Chains A and B, each alone.
Chain A
């Protein structure tokens, strides 16, 4: 009997212990730190930005300065601008390249920011046009003009003599000029005969020029027959335009 009573007490104790352990685990409460007053924050340091747009201007033109600050009580810009609001913008028109410096002061100290405006010289006015002589090409076109022929003829006409005289004057003055004489025909007659006729016209012009002292070594001749007409209508006005010797400067 004595043993049995002991067992009952032990079981009861164990049970009580279990209750105590499990209850302690669930109901644990954190311990609060001791309460202290926070230290006063230090005064914030001011910040500042300053930009110029555009950064490069021509002399006489303007640029815009734009700034902003924080924690500043007094903001100023040098170069004669003086005190300004804590943020803002204004137009400047320096006569030479200038660096603008903004100073922002506050309880936390002072800070500066800079922006540079580069000033360039205005574009030079266009130079007065210089007197330029005509190129050889221009003179050739002006002085060495087409000559015209009668139907089915390769003889040099009176009007063509004057044209060739003017041409030879120019060609003597510019002995380095080399050129081609093209012979052309109107649309009438066979392609083949006109090839021959155009050849004769080109050579007729050449021999007239050589008779005036132009060396044939400067000249090439070519016949285009009726293959390259200037004018394509079927009438005498047009045909006359096509019966010609045409002069082309060689390059």
Chain B
């Protein structure tokens, strides 16, 4: 994110027609997130052609190709044409594109990504184009340049991928440039870590050598709120992501945890046991204008805002016995239980488009936790994981198409991501136990 990215518009751009309506498609008894409407666009992604013979150019270009391909695959909105079907001579410039080759029977690409790369004044430069093969229209023509290290090359590929997703993926910005925070005990104590959305670049944000839990990104991604025991009591702290400054939030006694930044960026909801029972409170970011929202015996914890309206809060409550997901207005009114069935329902995460709440649910006490989706309006739900392991703590990506979660399906607890229809599950972590993922918001570009 700190790399200098300078896209230069090379060609006039033609936008696709406006975004198609994104909506949940209901089946008889279940709700299903439809990641793409109808048929996925068939996209060919030609390797970037190198203009130059520097050895570093080859390495950077291969990395760029690899990251771009995986980003577009992970996006879940395209059908990528396997590279083995491509013509032998790949285009580098517009006049080299043979449209008939790309529309041939065995390729049938609707869109083609191609371009060229070179080194210039110590920087790695990619000129990338996205065209509609059928209409021969140019959709993207950008030149990107970056300092040639791995992080830079990756960020550059992520940026192109996000642009491609935005233009031909249904009008929603891609998530390739987003990050995920999580809790890891890989060095002995539970500390907060961050990584790219694809698992690359994992690094520690905290070094308290204590217990640190429940990370959440602020709306502008500038800070991460979390609970830490490093001063003895489980209190809430903010840590700035850029320079890792520590800003204490609460020292009111008792437990203060599960922060949730309001969509307006001005307020924060959290759980505090200062009344000797964990209740949901809302305050400004300095802890002032404190307002208590719940008054019930039993645990009230894990609040999440409706990201779309900013007017409702879903949370976990033990007031009716076992933990269940409840919902209320931002002033505590209109309280109701979301899932009427029994079991234990915890860890709600509200999709950024406001349509769904993902949560982990153990429907029978002898069973395992699995990830479920609830359509907030209809009250219908669907199950996204079923592998005999515990799948817990789902969190939405900012495009409402992906979910990160923790699973012990291969033994230890690790962070996974998947598409919100339950497909394309992918493990991102492997050192130590890695839990409690928190997906960042979009970064400003």
Contacts and interface: CB of A to CB of B under 8 A. Distances in A.
Interface stretch (A71-79, A141-149, A191-199): A191-199
Interface in A179-211: 189-193, 195-197, 199-200, 203, 206-207
A200 B393 contact: no
A236 B100 CA distance: 67
B346 A196 contact: no
Given A152-B318, A193-B318, A200 B278 contact: yes
A196 B271 contact: yes
Given A196-B300, A221-B254, A189 B323 contact: yes
B436 A196 contact: no
Contacts of A191: 213-214, 393, 435-436
A126 B210 CA distance: 46
Contacts of A222: 232-234, 255
Contacts of A189: 323, 344, 346, 362
Interface in B379-396: 392-393
B301 to A, nearest CB: 4
A195 B316 contact: no
Interface residues of A, number: 20
B110 interface: no
Main secondary structure of the interface of B (DSSP, over half): strand
B301 A195 contact: yes
Contact of B254 (A190, A199, A224): A199
B333 interface: no
Main secondary structure of the interface of A (DSSP, over half): helix
A223 interface: yes
B337 to A, nearest CB: 15
Contacts of A206: 276
A223 B323 contact: no
B322 A152 contact: yes
A223 B278 CA distance: 11
Interface in B25-75: none
Contact of A195 (B234, B393, B435): B234
B316 A193 contact: yes
Nearest to B392: A190
Interface residues of B, number: 37
B435 A193 contact: no
B301 A192 contact: yes
A199 B278 contact: yes
B316 A192 contact: yes
A189 B298 CA distance: 15
Given A189-B346, A223-B255, A227-B190, A196 B278 contact: yes
B347 A190 contact: yes
A190 B183 CA distance: 13
A206 B277 CA distance: 12
Contacts of A152: 318, 321-323, 344
B283 interface: no
Interface string A15-55: 00000000000000000000000000000000000000000
Given A200-B277, A200-B299, A192 B255 contact: no
Interface string B320-332: 0111000000000
A192 B214 contact: yes
A25 B50 CA distance: 113
Interface in A116-156: 151-152
B299 A196 contact: yes
A227 to B, nearest CB: 5
B431 to A, nearest CB: 19
A190 B360 contact: yes
Interface in A190-249: 190-193, 195-197, 199-200, 203, 206-207, 221-224, 227
A144 B393 CA distance: 37
A227 B299 CA distance: 17
B273 interface: yes
A227 B210 CA distance: 11
Interface of A: 151-152, 189-193, 195-197, 199-200, 203, 206-207, 221-224, 227
24 contacts: A152-B318, A152-B323, A189-B323, A189-B362, A191-B393, A192-B258, A192-B302, A193-B299, A193-B346, A195-B234, A196-B271, A196-B273, A196-B278, A196-B300, A196-B301, A196-B318, A199-B254, A199-B278, A199-B299, A206-B276, A222-B234, A222-B255, A223-B255, A227-B211
Given A192-B347, A196-B300, A223-B273, 9 more contacts: A189-B346, A190-B393, A193-B323, A195-B278, A196-B278, A200-B277, A200-B299, A203-B277, A221-B276
